[in-house]
Amino acid sequence: MFINVAIVSALAALTSAIPGAEDTKTNYFTAIATHSGDHRIHLQQINASGQKFYLIKGTSTDCPQAKEIDCSKYVNSTVFDSRSDGTLYLHVGVPGGQQVYIASGGALVYTAPHSANIPDDGQAATFTHTRPTSSGGLGTLVFDNKGFVACPVKVDHYYAYQLYAWIPKFNGTFRTDCDGFGFATSAYSGPPAWEFS
């Protein structure tokens, strides 16, 4: 992947806000999209929202106002947790966790809190995260050794981009408005979100 100075400095800005983010050994990472030919999506943060993933859309974290949970210990940002068996999770505090998988039409999605349910036609394995090799550097995520695609979707009064894996059954094959992008990752060692709705 072509890594230019703009990407590195954008990520430096992103990671400098996160204490200890220089640790390249952690499985936790935040992510941005890279596609230097498409200024709409280039360097946009990847956010989880409503069991899907988007660019140019806020993340849907939630923390219950319950006595036993101190919400000040949890963050409001989308952090991933990659496992050595090829599975991918969101970095959350909620018991049971929240797993990321590919839905039948290719959409990158995640399980609801308190539900480990992945449909039979969902694919939860063969995510490969290549960690950053240097402090503050960029890693990459691929699914089945292939990249990801962003497709415009109307949200309120503007267009965000929903994220898909480039699988053979990708639901947007005949769309002309989708664009491939690099899933660039940055090591993270801060606290998790409580949960994503």
Ligand X SMILES: *[C@@H]1O[C@H](CO)[C@@H](O)[C@H](O)[C@H]1NC(C)=O
Q: Which residues bind ligand X (CB under 6 A)?
A: 45, 47, 56-59, 61-63, 71, 74, 76-78, 103-105, 107, 171, 193-194
Half-sphere exposure of 114 (CA within 13 A, CB side): 1
- CB nearer ligand X, residue 138 or residue 193: 193
Instruction: Quote the least distance from Cβ 17 to ligand X, whole Å.
Output: 9
| Distance of alpha carbon 160 from alpha carbon 41, whole angstroms | 9
Angle at CA of residue 197, ends 192 and 20, nearest 5°: 15
Instruction: Quote the least distance from Cβ 67 to ligand X, whole Å.
Output: 15
Instruction: Quote the least distance from Cβ 72 to ligand X, whole Å.
Output: 8
- CB nearer ligand X, residue 127 or residue 194: 194
Cβ density class 42-75: b for 16+ within 10 Å, e for less? bbbbbbbbebbbbbbbebbbebeeeeeeeeeebb
- CB nearer ligand X, residue 99 or residue 162: 162
Whether the CB-CB separation of 129 and 91 falls below 8 Å is answered with: no
Instruction: Quote the least distance from Cβ 169 to ligand X, whole Å.
Output: 8
- CB nearer ligand X, residue 128 or residue 173: 173
| Distance of alpha carbon 120 from alpha carbon 106, whole angstroms | 14
Instruction: Quote the least distance from Cβ 57 to ligand X, whole Å.
Output: 6
Amino acid (one-letter) located at 102: I
- CB nearer ligand X, residue 133 or residue 159: 159
Angle at CA of residue 108, ends 105 and 113, nearest 5°: 115
